[in-house]
Amino acid sequence: MINERLVELARCPRCVGDRPDEQERGRLKAEGTDFVCGTCRAVYGIQGGKSEANLPLDDISLLPRSGYLDLTLPTELEQQTKYLEEEFEQELDYEHISLPLLGAKVRNDLLRKLLRPARNEIALEVGCGNGKFCYWNRQRFDTVVGLDAAPLFAEEALAEIPLVQGDVRRLPFAPASFDKIFSIDLLEHLPASGIEPFFRELSRVLKPGGRILIYSNTREMGKLAPIIQFEKKVARFFSERGLFDFKRDDLRKSDHIKALRTFEDLESAVGNVGFVIERKVFWNGVFQGLVDNIIIKAGEYVVRQGIRLQLSRQEAKRKQEGESVRSRLASATTGLTNDWADGGGHQRMQMEIEENRAIKQAEKVAMEAEQSAEESSALDLAIRRSLKRSIADRRSGSVLRVLRFLTLLQQLDIIFFGKMRTGPYFVVLKRR
Q: DSSP for 5-39? A: HHHHHBB-TTT--SSGGGTTTTBEEEETTEEEETT
Instruction: Return the number of other C-beta atoms located less than 10 Å from residue 136's C-beta.
Output: 19
Amino acid at 391: I
Give CA–CA dist 327/325, Å, rounded. Answer: 5
Q: What is the pLDDT along the chain (432 residues), one digit of tens a residue?
A: 899 999 999 999 999 999 888 999 999 998 878 899 999 999 998 887 654 555 555 555 556 678 899 999 755 444 455 544 444 444 456 788 889 999 999 999 999 999 999 999 999 999 999 999 999 999 999 999 999 998 899 999 999 999 999 999 899 999 999 999 999 999 999 999 999 999 999 999 999 999 999 999 998 999 999 999 999 999 999 988 888 888 777 777 777 889 999 999 999 999 999 999 999 999 999 999 999 999 999 988 888 788 778 878 888 888 887 777 666 666 655 444 444 444 555 555 665 666 566 556 555 555 554 554 555 555 566 666 665 565 555 556 788 889 999 999 999 999 999 999 999 999 999 998
Give CA–CA dist 149/74, Å, rounded. Answer: 10
Q: What is the dihedral of CA 27, 30, 31, 35, to 10 degrees?
A: 60
Nearest to 117 by CA among 209, 206, 181, 184: 181
Secondary structure class of 255 (helix, strand, coil):
coil
Q: pTM value?
A: 0.80
Contact between 236 and 432 (Cβ < 8 Å): no
